């Protein structure tokens, strides 16, 4: 019997969520040689988000 999508969803309470690791540098392969405009925009947005997180 296949699992329904709701069976695969996991909800975390506040205490469980606070135990999850937070990362700043994700292990993502990025090649500027094949990056398009959307990829470059994503890089800029990620940098801006990191800066906002460091300020707070």
Q: Is residue 52 situated within a structural domain?
A: yes
**pLDDT, tens digit, 9 for 90 and up, residues 7-53:** 455 565 666 667 777 766 667 788 889 999 999 999 999 999 999 99
| pLDDT for res 29 | 80
Q: Is residue 22 situated within a structural domain?
A: no
| pLDDT for res 56 | 82
Q: Is residue 1 situated within a structural domain?
A: no
Q: Are 30 and 43 in contact (CB under 8 A)?
A: yes
Supply the range of the domain harboring residue 53: 31-56
The closest of 6, 56, 52, 49 to 26, measured between CA atoms, is 49
Q: Is residue 24 situated within a structural domain?
A: no
Q: Is residue 51 situated within a structural domain?
A: yes
Task: Tell me how many domains the chain contains.
Answer: 1
Q: Is residue 2 situated within a structural domain?
A: no
């Amino acid at each position: 019997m296949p699992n329904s999508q709701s069976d695969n969803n996991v909800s975390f309470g506040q205490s469980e969520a606070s135990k999850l690791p937070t990362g700043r540098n994700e292990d993502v392969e990025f090649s500027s040689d094949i990056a398009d405009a959307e990829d470059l925009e994503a890089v800029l947005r990620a940098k801006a988000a990191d800066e906002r997180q460091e300020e707070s």
